[in-house]
Amino acid sequence: MENEQPKNLIALLVSSLNEEANDDQVLSGLTRAEIFDEVLMMIITGYETTSTALSWFIFFASKNPQIQQRMKEELRKHHLLMIDNLKYVPPLTVDNLTSLTYCECVTKEVLRLAPVFGLTSRIATYDTIVDDVKIHRGQTILIALHNINTDARFLGEDKNHHPLAMIPFGGGHRACIGQELAWLELKTIIVRMMQRDITFEDTPENVGVQFNGGCISPTNVDNPNDLEPDQEEKIFHCFSNVKIFHVPQTADRARTLFEQLSKFKLFPVTTATLQMVCHDAQNGFYTSSIRMNQPHIIDLKLHYSDEFEIIHEQLLEILQEKDSTGITFLHGPPGTGKTYYLRYLINEIKEKSLIYVPPDLVN
């Protein structure tokens, strides 16, 4: 009908099309480009809000398996549940979605418990009094949607459901312009998941792991735990960092997983150059470069003694001073790790040249 009034925002936008609206003399209507921009904004804005609401649906559904079962029973009653060995999915129409009363109630309950916007605001246009509270013109009023939606005075027991308290998208002239699209998207996706007989379960295994910074290691890496390589050429598939996601109830499991992953560590080979003083009858004294790989010492206390860590820190501090001098003796029976520690210490010293004098040249 030509004189029929637009029934939704999209129809209203389309009806406002005026090809000459970009003319300075024409002030009414929208151009095709302007309508396209407005519709695109509505669609893009709806993606994130819908995905967030779906995440909450999955969470609440996993806590209430009986709700999922009742939704599927409603779908079966309307012949909308997947049949024929999971190969045929009955199509969804506007009439089908409208007939699914319980599924719509579940969708609304998700948005009641977890509204897309937890807070909205309004500016008072005139002085008024609400529940003995004076509100003056120009004041900003913050409206906590989540608090209203869960307040027992308005939405407590079944008999206490106030229709105006259910405003997950806000209300009035400033309500979310894309709420109809969001409702349609959310309900359609939820019904589709239930159609396919998907079941969400709440298990104690609620721990997720995300690996970042993947790479392939070189063949020469420090492998202190003797890990098995992923390829025969002693190559490992590595990642640089890991994130573990968990709920409070699974904190212990996440901690255990972190400790297990911490054992799978590889380190780049650190090499230092030691100038060793040599002597022979033909050349006299000269220095010879010796490259030393740094061994991996996990805990100095474990390898040596409880006091040795303090000695190591003091020794390292002295050696890294610009004009430090002194003599330090490492003594102990053969096989106690003196040379092993020296290799470790040499690689800890930065921006200095080290000269090693063998014992047979001291005299």
Give the whole-angstrom CA distance, residue 255 versus residue 317: 35
The torsion angle over the Cα atoms of residues 164, 169, 171 and 172, rounded to 10 degrees, is -150
Flag whether 176 is marked binding.
Answer: yes
Range 303-308, long-range pairs (CB < 8 A, 24+ positions): 303/337, 303/341, 304/337, 304/341
Count CB-CB contacts under 10 A for residue 335. 8
* Residues in the chain, overall count: 363
CB 111 within 8 A of CB 53: yes
Q: Are 169 and 175 in contact (CB under 8 A)?
A: yes
Angle at 197 between CA 196 and CA 203, to 5 degrees: 125
Q: Using an 8 Å Cβ cutoff, are 163 and 58 in contact?
A: no
Residues in the annotated binding site for heme: 176
Residues in the annotated binding site: 176
